[in-house]
Amino acid sequence: MTNFLISLALGLGAAAIDTVPMIIKKLDRTFIISAFFVWIALGIIIPACKLIPISWLNGLVTAALVVIPVICLVTKLDREAIPMMAATTVILGSLIGLLSNILIK
């Protein structure tokens, strides 16, 4: 149970990092809620998924696999958001992978 709570905390941290700028920019509430739950889910999924033995790369790849469909949907509404979404995915996915390797045993 402790590992689940650590995973949940990592997801909540990533969700906060991703959604606070969205709230400040006053983006649509649906996008903010969607991003929030995607990062909570990734906080739980990344530590459980072992696609690649290198922790940060595992986090990056797992996050990319989950976020790419979201990016495809957002492309229809705002093409300018793609670089920011991609950068956030790389940074937060890698960070969750690295931290989960350190904190979860």
pLDDT tens-digit map of 11-67: 999 999 999 999 999 988 998 999 999 999 999 999 999 999 999 999 999 999 999
Q: How confident is the model at residue 81 (pLDDT cuts 50, 70, 90)?
A: confident
Domain membership of residue 69 as a residue range: 2-103
d(CA 89, CA 66): 9
How many other C-beta atoms lie within 10 A of the C-beta of residue 31? 16
Q: How confident is the model at residue 68 (pLDDT cuts 50, 70, 90)?
A: very high
Q: Are 11 and 37 in contact (CB under 8 A)?
A: no
- What secondary structure does DSSP assign to 28-56, as a single string? -HHHHHHHHHHHHHHHHHHHH--SSSSHH
Q: Are 97 and 55 in contact (CB under 8 A)?
A: yes
Joined together, the tokens standing for residue 89 give 């995915």
Structurally, how many domains does the chain consist of? 1
- pLDDT > 80? residue 1: no
- Could you give the angle at the alpha carbon of 92 between the alpha carbons of 102 and 85, nearest 5°? 170
Q: How confident is the model at residue 86 (pLDDT cuts 50, 70, 90)?
A: very high
